Chain A
Amino acid sequence: MRKAASLLFAGGLAFLLAVLVAKLPFGETPMVLGKQVLAQGAEQTGTANLVTSVVVGYRAYDTLGELSILFTAALALGLVLGKRNAAAPRDPDAGLVLRASADLLLPLLLVVGFYIILHGHLTPGGGFQGGVIVAAALFIPILARPSRGLDHGVLVWLESLAGALFILIGLAALFQDGAFLEPLLGKGELGRLLSGGTLPLLYLLVGVKVGAELTGLLVNLADAEAVE
């Protein structure tokens, strides 16, 4: 009964959407905002990757909200899982080969991660994508040696600091009679690593915060006591 009703509901939804979507102007959308970004983005923000100019330039305020969501999720997850019972058994360490390759991967992935973060204003990638890779880099060694664990204190400080700096950079513009999150510093030459003013800096902070939060999240999950 319930199943039939749900199928009916979902079918109705799908049909409604299908009918509507048939009339959508695919491929020739009005693009009111998009055209302005394409025309002025490089000049106003100094980033070659225009998606980045939207993410940490025009819509940096949304990005702040998004960082807060990730922060909230990590915080709530820590509260849900609670403190680890010290007596609870941990998974055994992995074998030599896995441990050695994990150690090898750590610096490699860190370099790749930070490369992606730092080039976010020039090429595809940025704080989110690089942050995920940084988190993977930090988490893989923990997966190989569950017995060792990780100091949560460092992660908490990193999260706090990166988030606070993001807001403080935004407020710095406010105190110079600008607007909250207004880009500062010279824009530099388009396409150079040191260009785009504070935007790459903001993206770096996003990367650090995302990396720290996701690592904390994964470590918390991995540390959770298993259900028999």
Chain B
Amino acid sequence: MNGAALLVALPLLTAFLTPSIGRVSATAARLLGPLVLIYCIWLVAGLWGASLPVSIAIGGFAPPLGINLYLDPLALLFALAVYVLILLAWPWTEGTPGQAALLMLLAGSTAALALSGDLFNIFVFYELMSAASFGLIIVRGERAAHLATLRYLVLSGLGTVLFLLGVALVYFHTGTLNLAQLAQMAPDKLAGAQGLAAFVLILLGVGVKAELFPVNGWVPEVYAAAPRWLSGLLAGLVSKLAVLVLLRILVLVFDSEQAQAVLLVLGLAGFVTGELAAWWARDFVRMLSFSSIGQLGLVFVGFGIGGAAGVMAGIAVALHHMLAKPALFYLAESWGGSLERLQGEARRAPLAAALFVLLALSLVGVPPLPGFWAKLLVVMGLGAKGSALAWATLAGILLITVVEAAYLFRLVGRFYSEGEPAHAAPRLHGWDFTRALLLGGALVAAAFWIVPLGHWLEGASQLAADVPRYITTVLGQGGAP
């Protein structure tokens, strides 16, 4: 079981060695990364059969004193997604050793976030994830990318300070950083206004990467300036790991009505502003960026429901978005320009257009696609919650879904309309289309096996929301409250 640490250690080791290897052979540096990623996928598959959840102490120091990894089905699923999505995005042809090293650093940091069971450890690897994304955005060296990255860096820096203040507040009251021990002490020590303030600070800090409402100004700039495959990775993967981390912190440490209300309000604000801005967007990439803000807003609304149902709703939306958004960004490799260029695109690229229709239907939430079930979970959860705020949020979501449908179907209509634009979009590269197709295929497969998947997700969510189980898993029987 201790081998789970390899999931983080191996990508980081590869990253450290890649620049040196790249000085000898650039090809070797480019190929080493995928090999390690495949090995990591194999490792995750091996861990899948083990009896979960399980806690692994790093350094042989039992938690709470040492840092621990916490492996449950949700953590393993996200770790698996990390390796698969990064492998899929791997730049086989254009990649430099530096880029390969940065991607491996991204893999190591995101996997570490998926498995981490310690508040400050989350902070450290969250920063590593930021630093690796900054490096990747500027790899191509355009001036707009430099400027967008700097603005992103400054906002992230502000987030870092807020996160740090939140950690300091938590430490003042509890004297510990281990999530299990925090979960044990939270009802006593972090219940009042102090705890809520610490939560808001940490939420805003982590929210920068998770595209949370007030701190997401960087999203359209960075996704527009970065290479498309990277935007897909940032929207599909990096934001989701921030979401997972927030979920852990929320469920274990700050599980209160007020915290859920904060999430409902900020999530709804993100959904409304994101989808409205996407409706106004005149080009494909900005439309995707704003839609990503909207979808992540929906994830936070899901978490705002609270309990296992809330976890399941939020994670379902997040997983769906994790498949759909990278696929759309791969399509954007050719459709990246103005929406007007896409007039009649269905005749030039019928398969790609059909794939887009599928993804759009799923995003809006048309049955029987997975997006429908995800949205249904959010809506039913809000209905079951029953507070005035929940009903208001529910109304807002249904209303804005119409806007979402309007702009997505407006584009579909343009695809299938007559007439040629002055400058048509360039042809889609075969590999980009294949990648989008693979993700779209996964979405269709999920629609077919929605019942077993739903059962699995329900079990995983109940486990993730089971705080006493988490505490005993990490701290042993003695830790039970």
B193 at the interface (CB under 8 A from A): yes
A to B CB contacts below 8 Å, 28 in the list: A17-B197, A20-B169, A20-B197, A25-B173, A32-B64, A33-B178, A44-B61, A58-B61, A59-B66, A61-B58, A62-B120, A62-B121, A65-B112, A65-B127, A69-B124, A72-B132, A79-B139, A163-B12, A164-B16, A164-B17, A167-B13, A171-B13, A174-B3, A174-B6, A180-B59, A181-B58, A181-B59, A183-B60
B101 at the interface (CB under 8 A from A): yes
User: B239 interface residue, CB < 8 Å from A?
Assistant: no
Contact of B108 among A68, A79, A179 (CB under 8 A): A68
Specify which chain B residues have a CB less than 8 angstroms from the CB of A85 in the assembled complex.
Answer: none
Given A24-B169, A65-B112, residue A79 in contact with residue B67 (CB < 8 A) = no
Q: A38-77 toward B: CB 8 Å interface, digit per residue (1/0)?
A: 0010001000000000000111111011101101110110
Q: Sorted from nearest, which 7 A-B pairs have the closest CB atoms? A: A180-B5, A76-B135, A30-B175, A163-B16, A182-B60, A65-B124, A32-B175
Tell whether B423 is near chain A: CB-to-CB under 8 Å: no
Q: How far is the CB of B144 from chain A (nearest CB, A)?
A: 14
A29, B175: Cβ atoms under 8 Å? yes
Residue positions of B touching A, CB distance < 8 A: 2-3, 5-6, 9, 12-13, 15-17, 19-20, 23, 56-61, 64-67, 98, 101-102, 105, 108-109, 112, 120-121, 124-125, 127-128, 131-132, 134-135, 138-139, 141, 146, 165, 169, 171-178, 181, 185, 189, 193-194, 197
| Residue A188, interface by CB 8 Å | no
Q: Which of B5, B13, B109 contacts A179 (CB 8 A)?
A: B5
Q: A73 and B131: CB pair below 8 A? A: yes
With A69-B124, A72-B102 as contacts: A167 and B16 at CB distance below 8 Å: yes
Q: A57-B61, A69-B124, A79-B138 are in contact. Are A174 and B197 (CB under 8 A)?
A: no
Chain B contacts for A65, CB-based, 8 A: 109, 112, 121, 124-125, 127-128
Chain B CB within 8 A of A23 CB: yes
Contact of B67 with A71 in the complex, beta carbons under 8 Å = no
Contact with B along A96-128 (1 / 0, CB 8 A): 000000000000000000000000000000000
Known A16-B197, A30-B174, A58-B66: A82·B15 in contact at CB below 8 Å: no
Taking a contact as CB atoms under 8 Å apart, the answer to whether A167 and B12 are in contact is: yes
Interchain nearest-CB distance for A95 vs B (Å):
36
Q: How far is the CB of B452 from chain A (nearest CB, A)?
A: 34
Partner pick for B172 among A29, A37, A61, CB 8 A cutoff:
A29
Interface residues in A154-195 by Cβ distance below 8 A to B read 156-157, 159-161, 163-164, 167-168, 170-171, 173-174, 177-183
Out of A33, A75, A183, name the residue touching B64 (CB < 8 Å): A33
Is A87 interfacial (CB 8 A cutoff)? no
Contacts of B112 in A (CB 8 A): 65
Nearest A-chain residue to B177, judged by Cβ: A33
A1 within 8 A of B: no
- The reply to whether B56 and A179 form a contact with Cβ atoms under 8 Å apart is yes
Any chain B CB within 8 A of the CB of A31? yes
A214 vs B67: C-alpha distance in the bound complex, in angstroms? Answer: 27
In the complex, chain A residues 1-41 whose Cβ is within 8 Å of any chain B Cβ:
16-17, 20, 23-26, 29-34, 36-37, 40
Residue A89 at the chain B interface, CB threshold 8 Å: no
Most buried by B among A26, A153, A174: A174
Q: Which of B12, B64, B127, B169 has most A Cβ within 10 Å? A: B12
Which residues does chain B contribute within 8 Å of A33, judged by CB atoms? 64-65, 175-178
Please measure, in the bound complex, the distance between the C-alpha atom of A80 and the C-alpha atom of B176, giving whole angstroms. Answer: 39
Query: A20-B169, A75-B98 are known contacts; what are 17 more A-B pairs with Cβ within 8 Å?
Result: A20-B194, A24-B169, A32-B185, A33-B177, A59-B121, A65-B124, A65-B127, A71-B105, A72-B105, A72-B128, A72-B131, A163-B13, A167-B16, A170-B9, A171-B9, A180-B5, A180-B59
A113 to B: closest C-beta gap in Å: 22
Chain A: residues with Cβ within 8 Å of the partner, total of 58
- Looking across the interface, which residue of chain A has its beta carbon closest to that of B106? A72
With contact pairs A29-B175, A174-B5 given, residues A60 and B59 touching in the complex (Cβ less than 8 Å): yes
Given contact pairs A44-B61, A182-B60, A69 touches B175 in the complex (Cβ within 8 A): no
Assembled-state Cα–Cα distance A183/B60 (Å): 8
Tell me which residues across on chain B come within 8 A of A163, comparing CB atoms.
12-13, 16
A75–B102 touching, CB < 8 Å:
yes
A45 to B360 alpha-carbon distance, docked (Å): 56
CB distance from B58 to the nearest CB of A (A): 5
Q: In the complex, which residues of chain A have a beta carbon less than 8 angstroms from the beta carbon of B172?
A: 24-26, 29
Which of B12, B135, B185 lies in contact with A79, CB distance below 8 A? B135
Cα distance A159–B65 in the bound complex, in angstroms: 30
**CB atoms of A179 and B125 under 8 A apart:** no
Q: Mark A132-164, 1 if CB is under 8 A from B, else 0.
A: 000000000000000000000100110111011
A65 to B111, CA, bound (A): 12
Q: In the complex, which residues of chain B have a beta carbon less than 8 angstroms from the beta carbon of A179?
A: 2, 5, 56-60
Q: Which listed residue (A68, A159, A168) contacts B105, Cβ 8 A? A: A68
Q: Write out the residue numbers on chain A whose beta carbons fall within 8 Å of the beta carbon of B127.
A: 65, 69
Closest CB in chain A relative to B47 CB, distance in Å? 14
Q: Are B59 and A75 in contact (CB-based, < 8 A)? A: no
CB–CB B15/A68 < 8 A: yes
**What are the residues of chain B within 8 A of A64 when measuring CB–CB?**
9, 12
- CB pair A178–B60 under 8 Å, yes or no, is yes
Report which of B16, B57, B169, B176 forms a contact with A71, defined as CB distance below 8 A. Answer: B16
With A65-B109, A68-B105: A59-B15 Cβ-Cβ less than 8 Å = no
Q: Is the pair A160, B20 in contact by a Cβ cutoff of 8 Å?
A: yes
B residues within 8 A CB of A26?
A: 172
Residues of A contacting B173 in the complex (Cβ-Cβ under 8 angstroms): 24-25, 30
Q: State A73–B220 Cα separation when bound (angstroms).
A: 24
B9 near A75 with CB under 8 A, answer: no
Contact assessment for A160 and B59 in the assembled complex, using a CB-CB cutoff below 8 Å:
no
Evaluate contact between B59 and A157: CB separation under 8 angstroms: no
In the complex, are the beta carbons of B67 and A61 less than 8 A apart? Answer: yes
Residues of B within 8 A of A59 (CB): 66-67, 120-121
Residues of A within 8 A of B132 (CB): 72
Once the chains are docked, how many angstroms separate the CA of A160 from the CA of B97?
A: 13
Q: CB-nearest residue of chain B relative to A80?
A: B138
Known: A58-B65, A62-B124. A17 touches B2 (CB 8 A): no
- Chain B residue contacts of A31, Cβ below 8 A: 175
Q: Which residues in B have their C-beta under 8 angstroms from that of A61?
A: 58-59, 67, 121
Q: Which residues of A contact B23 (CB under 8 A)?
A: 153, 156
